[in-house]
Chain A
Amino acid sequence: MRNQLNQNSHKLQATSHKQSRFFGFKSKSVLFTFAFILFTFAFNLLSLNLSAQKQRFPKPEFETGYEQPSPVTPEPRALAMEYFDVLILILVLAAATYFALKSRSRQGILWLSIFTLVYFGFYRNGCICSIGAIQNVTLTFFDPAYAISLTALLFFIIPLVVTLFFGRTFCAGACPLGAIQDLVVVKPISLPKWLNKTLGLIPYLYLSLAVLFAATGTDFIICRYDPFVGIFRMDAKFLMIVLGIAFLLMGMFVARPYCRFLCPYGVLLSWMSRFSSRHLTITPSKCIQCKLCTHSCPFDAIDFPTNEKEVVKSGLGPKRFITYALVIPLWIALGVFVGAKSHTFLSKANQDVYLAELLIAHPELRNDPDNIDVQTFLASGKPMEQLVSEATAIREKFYIGSMIAGGFMGLVIGMTLLNTVVFRKRQDYEPHKGNCFSCARCVDYCPVEK
C-alpha cells in the first residue's frame, strides 16, 4: 500500500511540475513556487481517489497509545428551525392582520412589533428576511446553478399574498426593520407632498438595481446595505453601524425613513396593497370628518376628502392627463438611454469585470505583489482571454439589464406624474392603500365608536 502511494505521488509530482511549466509560471520566491506546485498538486488529488493522497510527512504510528482527536464540525442551524421561522412568520402575520382589521388595536400591533423585533431582529439577527429574499428569487431565475431554499421562497411569497388580501400588515408587525423604526418615532413631521413623491421613487430605483445586481450574480446589495442588520447583530463595520444609527435618529422625526424611501420590498407590497380586497379602515363605521386622524399618521399616508371646487376650478385635469400619458413613452426612452449609458459604470461592481478592466488598464499591476486579486488570478493559471470573455459576457448582461431597469424607472416616473393629475373622489379621510403600513395609530385617534 505504502509503495503504491509513493509511486502515485511520484507520478503526481511529475505532472505538477509539467503543469507549472505549461502555465509559464516564473516565480521569484521559492516559497511561491512551492505553494503553487502544491496547489496544482492538490488539484490533481481532487480528481483522483482521495485515498491516494500524498503526505510529505506521513502520519507516525504512535507507540504510547495516543488517541487522535477528530476535527470538530458543529452542525448549522437545524432545517426544522428554519421551518419554525416560517411558522412564526405566518402566526405573526395572522396576528397583525387580526389586530389591524378585526380588533383594531394599536396596542396589539405595538406588542407584536416588539416581539418581531426581538425574534426576527435580535434573535434571528435580521436574517432571514423577506426584503432580502427578493434577490434569492431573482437569482433562481437567472442562475441555473442556484436553487432557492424553500424557506426563502416562503418568506418572499407569504407576505405578498397576505398583503394582496389584507393590506400591508406585514409592515405593521412582521418586519423587524419596520418594527425598530416604528418604535423610535417620537415627533414625526409631515413632509410636503412633492418631497414624499420624489423620495418615494428611490425604492423603485433600489429595487431595479437590486434585481439587476442579483440577476448578474454580482452582489446582494439589499443585504449588504441593510442599515439595521448591524444593530441586530450588535456587530458590523463601523460605517454600517453609523448608517443604522443615523437612520434611527432620522426616524425620530421622519418616521420610518427606510420603509418609505428605500425599502425595495415595499414597492411590491405597495402594488399588492393597492388592490387588496380588504384594508385597515380609520373609522369603524361612519367618518364624522373630525380630522383627528390626519395628525395621527406619521407617514403622511392619509388621503383627505377631495375638494371638488378646486378640481373643477383648475379645469386642467383631462388636458394634463393626456399630456402626461403621451409623455410616458418619452420617459421610458429616456430611462433606457440612461440605463444604456450607465451600464459600463454599473458593471464595475462585478469582481470579474473589475479585475479584467484593472488588468487591461494597468498591466503593471501584474508585478505588484500586494494586489491579492491580481496575484491570485495570475497564480490560478486562468488565461487572460478567458477572464476577458467572461467579463464581456457579464457586461453584456448589464447592458440589457440596465436598459430594462432604466425603462422601468422611466415608466415609474411617468406613472407617478400621471397619478398627480388623476383625481379620485373621496368623501372621507381614508388611508392611502399603497403607502399605509396598517400601524393602526389612526384607529386609536378616531373618536367614532362602533
Chain B
Amino acid sequence: MENNSKSQSRRKFIHNGVRASLLLSLGAVSVSALRKVSGDDYVWQIDPFKCTQCGRCATECVLNPSAVKCIHAFDLCGYCDLCGGYLKPDANAQSTAAENQLCPTAAIERRFIEEPYFEYHINEDLCIGCAKCVAGCTSFGNGSMHLQIMHHICVNCNECSIARVCPSDAISRVKASEAYNVKGDFTNNPEA
C-alpha cells in the first residue's frame, strides 16, 4: 500500500512537472509571437500596379462568383466614347449591343453624360472579376478600371486561394484599416 502511494505521488510529480513545462512553452510561444503581434487584422488585397490581368481571380476564388470585382477609379477615366474596357477591339459599332461588349456578363453599364462623353459604371452583382475589361482599359485607355477584392463579399480565408496561384504575386495581406488599393485617388490630393 505504501509502495503504491509512493508511485502515485511520483507519477503526480512527473505530471505536474510536465504540465508546468507545457504551460511554460505555451507562454514562450505566445510571448515571442506577441512581440510581433499586430492589433490590426489582416485582409487580402490586390495591388493593381502588379496585376497582369491573367483572369485567375474569376476562377480561383473559393466563392462563386469571385469576391474580386472590377472597380472604376473615375478620376482616372477619360470618359471616352471609344472605350477599350467596354468595347471589344473588333467591335462592329460603338454601341451597347451585347456583341460589342468586352464584358462577358455585361456588368459594365454605359451612360451618356454629354457629347462626346460616357460614364462607365460597373454593376458589382454581375461582375465576375475576369479582368477582361481591366486588360482592355490598361492596354488602350487610362487604366482606370482595375480589380479589387471586395470585403463585404470576401470571406477572408486564412490563405487566399487566388494569392497562391497569382502569377504576379499581386495579392498580399494588407492591414484591415487600409483595406483597398484604389488606383489614382486624385480627389484627396489638393494639388490636382
Contact = CB atoms under 8 A, between A and B. Distances in A.
Interface of A: 31, 34-35, 38-39, 42-43, 45-46, 50-51, 53, 55-60, 62-64, 66, 68-77, 79, 82, 125, 127-128, 132, 135-137, 140-141, 146-151, 153, 157, 160-161, 164, 219-220, 223-224, 233, 235-237, 271-272, 275-277, 351, 372-373, 375-377, 379-380
Given A127-B158, A233-B62, A235-B64, A140 B36 contact: yes
Given A79-B176, A127-B157, A51 B186 contact: yes
B54 A372 contact: yes
B77 A59 contact: yes
Given A137-B33, A147-B37, A76 B155 contact: no
B150 interface: yes
Nearest to B144: A55
A377 B117 contact: no
B6 to A, nearest CB: 14
A148 B105 CA distance: 38
B167 A150 contact: no
Contacts of A76: 41, 43, 151-152, 154, 156, 176, 179
A51 B113 contact: no
Interface of B: 15, 18-19, 22-23, 26, 29-30, 32-34, 36-43, 49, 52, 54-56, 62-64, 71-80, 113-114, 117, 119, 121, 124, 135, 138-143, 148, 150-152, 154-159, 161, 164-165, 167-168, 173, 176, 179-180, 182, 184-187, 189, 191-192
Contact of A66 (B19, B75, B114): B114
A35 B135 contact: yes
Given A42-B143, A220-B159, A376 B33 contact: no
A373 B80 CA distance: 33
B151 A64 contact: no
Contacts of A42: 49, 143
A156 B163 CA distance: 24
Given A35-B139, A60-B79, A236 B62 contact: yes
B71 A71 contact: yes
Contact of A59 (B22, B79, B176): B79
Give the interface centre of A60, A151, A164 by most chain B CB atoms within 10 Å: A60
A380 B168 CA distance: 8
25 contacts: A34-B140, A64-B113, A64-B114, A69-B121, A72-B71, A73-B71, A73-B150, A75-B152, A75-B179, A76-B151, A76-B154, A77-B176, A127-B156, A140-B33, A147-B36, A147-B37, A147-B38, A149-B37, A153-B34, A161-B26, A271-B22, A272-B22, A275-B22, A376-B54, A377-B167
Given A51-B191, A79-B40, A137-B29, A60 B121 contact: no
